[in-house]
Structure 1
Amino acid sequence: MSRQTQRLSLMAPSPGTERMLITHCYGTPGQGPKVYIQAALHADEWPGMMALQHLIPLLDEADAKGEIVGEIILVPYANPIGLDQRIGAAASGRYSFDGSGNFNRNWADLCAGAKPLLEGRLTGDVTQDTALVRDAFRTVVADQAAETPVQELRKILMGLSCDADYVLDLHCDGEATVHLYANERHAETVNALALDLDCPVVLLESTAGGGPFDEANASPWWQLATELDGAAHLPNACFSCTVEFRGRQDVSDAFGAKDAAGLMSFLRREGVVKGEPSPQRGTTFSNPLQATDVVHAPGAGLISYCRDIGEEVEKGDVLAVLIDPTGVNARIELKAGTTGIFFARADQRLVQPGDGVFKVAGSDILDYRKEGALLEA
């Protein structure tokens, strides 16, 4: 079945305007595993859009050869609302201007909605009950409110993803290496994805907290297995992952082609597309998210970095200096709180007190990192 491109109309924000989502669908629904991939939910993060632009012709070619076994849905830009948000010449697509907050927080709680729909209905058969759960998820999403543009967008995106076997949410950091966020229950799969994407850092959480899109799709499965009577046999049937494709300025055809090749390799690895995977690296560093040191600015000023992204650093190494431009408070050294890989840093060089400055992926659990609030630290 050749690619089906759909235009999904959204609420008009004002008279004389319109918004839309574009989706590209491959394969046949219900035949083989379903994969959902979206880019730019944080609409000021664009490397994922470039990756999907390069993935489309690869999938077109595979489709023409009859190699697509499952169903694949691509959303090249997941947030037209955020894409339209600008202050002067600066894009501002992380938080909604309507006051509803971070576009990648507080997604629907599918478990809470599905439990009353599933009570007393599970058969004990894994295949049948997996289908029942997915049907319940679709019902929960269909019943969500869509009274505002943001609510409508969330309902549509979750409706496309809630019954998928694989969900990849493509983001980026300020300045960073490629890195991945996933639940520790999916360590084997995410580590394989890291090899395909040439990703040196994998961050595993038990509970990330905050209701991000990836967790909203994956966690209902293990939540139901523990919270619903007779559901202990349910599998963790959705692998969901946040892919951080480097930094905001890392948008190029070279990176896009490399990242698309990695995504294609993963699709082949998981049997969604026929063929052998082509991993781009042999090893990756996988660590608990609670072991990731996040250093914040203790005051306002200019940031000057002393080390490069991707370097291995030791606890106590100076990675950046906070500079008071007035010269009154001089310079404050910002040091690594753990030994590991210096994998991400802020792209803004003028910071306010409390701004995140850099991150180091380590191996030792850090006392100040709190489970359930790991994305906010």
Structure 2
Amino acid sequence: MNNFSKEVMHVGEMASGAALTVPVYRIKGDSDAPSVYIQANMHGAEVQGNAVIFQLLELLKNIDIKGNITLVPYANPVACNHKNGEYTLGRFDPITGVNWNRMYHFDESIIKPFVRDSIGKDDATIEANFKQLMIEKIEQKLEHNIFGLTTGQRIAYQLQRLAHQADLVLDLHTGPISSKHLYCPEYAQESAQYFDIPHTLLIPNEFGGALDEATFCPWWYLQEAFTELGIKFSISSKALNKESFTVELGSQEQIDLDVALDDAKSILAYLQYKGVIAAPEYQPQVMTRYGCYLKDYKAYYSPMGGMVDYLAEFGKPLAAGEPLARILRMDNYHFGTDDETENGGPLHYLSLDHEVLPILHFASASVNQGTELYKVFTNFFEL
């Protein structure tokens, strides 16, 4: 494709002086349609997104592309290579202990001064100026921080600089052992139905350090500041069209190219809806989609240590009292006696007193007391 380019972005250096690099693929659209930024593998074990980006690149060869598309696999070269035996770690920076996906930047104090300077300007000018301001703030952090940056911040800020140039942002992740689910800003709920993803977490417009929040919260705060002055400015309007999602593609430590092809088609259905591509053959599947507000997304911690047999099916409502899992405690087994009451016996069934929708569970069968065993939707509803 004449409109295709690739570059290698230098994001840091190792102790040996070897460069830490990230590949960046760009496809230039032929109109002023919304632009999109897609990245994968910020966490080391979450590798399926790389396969999805491969399948997207393959499919995009034969699609009429309207908006600019930037795709970044292997977004975090440190995490990708952080191995311990046969396992990839790479969820937390091994030096600082901070989650790699909690190092992005947003400074709310820039909003009100910008709004005061923007009164009377048209939406297109405000959009262009605000986008430029966010990029400049990131560049200041990268290039003019006299005390320096951590490895994770340096990587995150360079990725964020790319993301701020786009209108739509998709950050591809996976869970430990997980169903497919979508983190979606509350104001963008309508867009969730255009992904072939059955479970949607509706997240508030609050910044907690993740990429999706770092790219949609500034626009939301900007809208709120204009609203306080009685000025209409809508990030969800066709003219602005700002949305960001974390797309959870299933389980970590594995890729499946066939499933990745389905996931790529799901993303293309969303991009078709948003006008980034002109490919009406890509449409969302008809399925039951469940939603849950983030405040109702609950972690269930193991009440005891042991070996876990995970029983609950993902995506299937689990009735109150039905077992999530059972824990085997061989230290409580008593051979040759009918008395299994001491310490509760070897098998312990775990259940909840209200209906839930299981979304993911811990990757290992061996757990300590207090391990985050399951994450579940409560008070869920059909979208």
Normalised to the residue count of structure 1, the TM-score between the two structures is 0.87
Any conservation in 2 of the 1:10–1:21 contact (CA below 8 Å)?
yes
Any conservation in 1 of the 2:56–2:264 contact (CA below 8 Å)?
yes
Pairwise CA distance, 1:295: 0.8
Partner of 1:374: none
Partner of 1:371: none
- 1:139 and 2:140 correspond: no
- 1:47 and 2:52 correspond: no
Residue 183 of structure 1, aligned match among 173, 182, 185: 185
Partner of 1:90: 87
SS at match of 1:98: coil
- Against the structure 1 CA distance between its residues 30 and 112, is the aligned structure 2 distance closer, same or farther, given a 3 Å change threshold? farther
Matches within 5 A, 1:66-215: 67-145=64-142, 147-193=149-195, 197=196, 199-207=197-205, 210-215=208-213
- Against the structure 1 CA distance between its residues 300 and 289, is the aligned structure 2 distance closer, same or farther, given a 3 Å change threshold? same
- Against the structure 1 CA distance between its residues 29 and 225, is the aligned structure 2 distance closer, same or farther, given a 3 Å change threshold? farther
Matches within 5 A, 1:350-365: 350-363=366-379
Any conservation in 2 of the 1:191–1:286 contact (CA below 8 Å)?
no
- Against the structure 1 CA distance between its residues 160 and 137, is the aligned structure 2 distance closer, same or farther, given a 3 Å change threshold? same
Pairwise CA distance, 1:230: 4.5
Partner of 1:375: none
Q: Deviations over 1:49-92 (max 9, x none)?
A: 11111111111222xxxx11001100012111111212233211
Counterpart residue identity of residue 213, structure 2: E
The CA distance in 2 between the partners of 1:231 and 1:250, in whole Å, is 50
Pairwise CA distance, 1:12: 1.6
- Against the structure 1 CA distance between its residues 207 and 325, is the aligned structure 2 distance closer, same or farther, given a 3 Å change threshold? farther
Counterpart residue identity of residue 300, structure 1: G
Counterpart residue identity of residue 55, structure 1: L
Matches within 5 A, 1:177-326: 177-193=179-195, 197=196, 199-207=197-205, 210-227=208-225, 230=229, 232-236=231-235, 237-276=241-280, 277-326=282-331
- Against the structure 1 CA distance between its residues 344 and 225, is the aligned structure 2 distance closer, same or farther, given a 3 Å change threshold? same
Residue 339 of structure 1, aligned match among 355, 370, 376: 355
Q: Deviations over 1:159-201 (max 9, x none)?
A: 00013211111111122221111111110012222xxx2x111
Counterpart residue identity of residue 322, structure 1: I
Q: Deviations over 1:331-361 (max 9, x none)?
A: 4432135424322212211122322111222
SS at match of 1:251: coil
SS at match of 1:11: strand
Query: Quick one: percent identity of the two aligned structures?
Result: 24
- Structure 2 alignment gaps of length 5 or more: 143-147, 236-240, 333-342
* Aligned-pair Cα RMSD in Å: 2.4
SS at match of 1:312: coil
- Against the structure 1 CA distance between its residues 119 and 249, is the aligned structure 2 distance closer, same or farther, given a 3 Å change threshold? same
The CA distance in 2 between the partners of 1:112 and 1:300, in whole Å, is 46
Q: Please say which of residues 86-95 and 276-285 is displaced more in the overlay.
A: 276-285
The CA distance in 1 between the partners of 2:319 and 2:206, in whole Å, is 26
The CA distance in 1 between the partners of 2:230 and 2:126, in whole Å, is 9
- Structure 1 alignment gaps of length 5 or more: 366-377
The CA distance in 2 between the partners of 1:248 and 1:231, in whole Å, is 46
The CA distance in 1 between the partners of 2:354 and 2:222, in whole Å, is 36
Pairwise CA distance, 1:118: 4.9
Partner of 2:13: 12
Any conservation in 2 of the 1:130–1:234 contact (CA below 8 Å)?
no
Q: Please say which of residues 335-344 and 88-97 is displaced more in the overlay.
A: 335-344
The CA distance in 2 between the partners of 1:110 and 1:202, in whole Å, is 27
Any conservation in 1 of the 2:103–2:153 contact (CA below 8 Å)?
no
The CA distance in 1 between the partners of 2:231 and 2:41, in whole Å, is 35
SS at match of 1:21: strand
Q: Deviations over 1:282-336 (max 9, x none)?
A: 4311222222332111232211112322322112221112333422564443213
Which protein shows a greater Rg? 2
